[in-house]
Amino acid sequence: MIEIFQEFWPQYVGIGWDGGLSGAAMTIWLMLLTFFLGLLASIPLAILRVSSNKYLSKPIQLYTFIFRGTPLYVQLLIVYTGLFGLDFIRETPSLSAFFKSGFNCVVVAFSINCCAYVTEVLAGSIRSIPAGEIEAGRAFGFSKVKLYTKIILPSALRRALPYYSNEVILVLHATSIAFTATVPELLKVARDVNSATYASFSAFGIAGIFYAVIAAILVLIFRLLEKRWLAFLRPISTH
């Protein structure tokens, strides 16, 4: 394994085969971009999800059910190979150019899937906010918009932090299917190294080690964030 890593380390963590991002760098970039877009889109959707108006909440519930209930791999294949088969996609120059890129297709599929999970997490976090916090805002005369921007969303985002760490790690693992769209992430590099050396254990073992290291770093980062931003939820010591 050491010999394989010494020979191919630039592809794993240095410079990719084509001079672009290495496998590890591409994996991290996909993970961060996917989660950021998914989280950004989930905020308005979570607000609609907890709405008492069923015409607003039910379509969001259907969306999250579909994308949480079907495999991400199938969703990626639909975006990567299915959408380009539609006439209006092929005949619209901007859309055609966009969906010809495997990277763009991966980001779209992953972000939509991530958004579905984070929407439900954030909606649950909004529901868990103590009624007293909301009533206090109303007592100060906060409008509904100000209530969400000053009290509900900041509190819900912090309360959902432990669940975000799980979702980020799931997204990290999900990047391993991006090779389907020819994106040179970590597993694609491992497959290429395996094809060049036939050393399957070493090629995929190195990739597995990198996944584990990245996951460990993410867990540590989120634990530090939780310690800082969720201190108000810890019981007050009487000693």
Tell me, what's the pLDDT at 24?
A: 87
Cβ–Cβ < 8 Å for 160, 122: yes
Whether residue 46 is predicted with pLDDT greater than 80 in this model: the reply is yes
CA distances for 131 relative to 54, 127, 177, angstroms:
22, 9, 42
- Residue 164 CA to residue 42 CA, distance in Å, equals 12
For the chain, helix (H) and strand (E) counts, in that order, are 13, 0
Tell me, what's the pLDDT at 211?
A: 93
pLDDT tens digits along 69-122: 999 999 999 999 888 888 888 888 888 889 889 999 999 999 999 999 999 999
Whether residue 34 is predicted with pLDDT greater than 90 in this model: the reply is yes
Whether residue 19 is predicted with pLDDT greater than 60 in this model: the reply is no
Q: What is the mean predicted confidence (pLDDT) over 223-228?
A: 86
pLDDT tens digits along 143-157: 888 888 888 898 888
pTM: 0.88
Q: Which long-range contacts (CB under 8 A, 24 or more apart) does 188-196 make?
A: 188/23, 189/8, 189/11, 189/12, 189/16, 189/17, 189/22, 189/23, 190/23, 192/11, 192/17, 193/4, 193/8, 193/11, 193/12, 196/8
Which pLDDT band holds residue 233 (cuts at 50, 70, 90)? Answer: low
HSE-CB at 158 with a 13 A cutoff on CA atoms is 16
Tell me, what's the pLDDT at 134?
A: 83
